Amino acid sequence: MDDQKQKLQQLLNRRHWTPEEKQWLLAYLETTNATELEELMQEQFHLQHKVVDPELTAAMLDNIHEKIVHHKKRPYWIMAAAAVVAGLLVLSLYVFQRPQQPAAVAAKQPVTTPTATGAEKATLT
């Protein structure tokens, strides 16, 4: 048992494996329940991920929450100014892009020429 655990430890510490080592590991995984490998992996995990002080993690979390709340507080006048600018932009686009209507022109009236007195076409008013 210890031989297998030592061999596994050596393999886990190496980056590149020979084909024989790969074959041995495959046979190990297929024929055993891999308890030694599980123990080794748990030991490595605990060595790499040490428990952090709970007070430190609480302080870090409070700091993160404080920064989040700080970013959410924006003065209302910034939003109001943005709304005014957007409104002016829309209004100016409407005013300058609408089709221009021609100025109203007086209707043409027929030109009447004064007629001579006594003519049949004269109209007395």
Please give the chain's pLDDT, 125 residues, in tens.
Answer: 578 888 888 888 888 989 999 998 888 888 888 888 888 888 888 877 777 778 888 898 988 888 877 666 667 778 889 999 999 999 988 888 877 776 666 667 766 666 666 656 656 56
Cα–Cα distance, 1 to 4 (Å, whole number): 5
pLDDT at 117 (0 to 100): 62
**Secondary structure (3-state) at 105:** coil
Q: What is the pTM of this model?
A: 0.37
* Cβ proximity of 5 and 40 under 8 Å: yes
Cα–Cα distance, 65 to 43 (Å, whole number): 34
* Cβ proximity of 116 and 122 under 8 Å: yes
Cα–Cα distance, 35 to 4 (Å, whole number): 11
> DSSP letter at 91?
H
Cβ neighbours of residue 34 closer than 8 Å, sequence gap 6 or more? 28
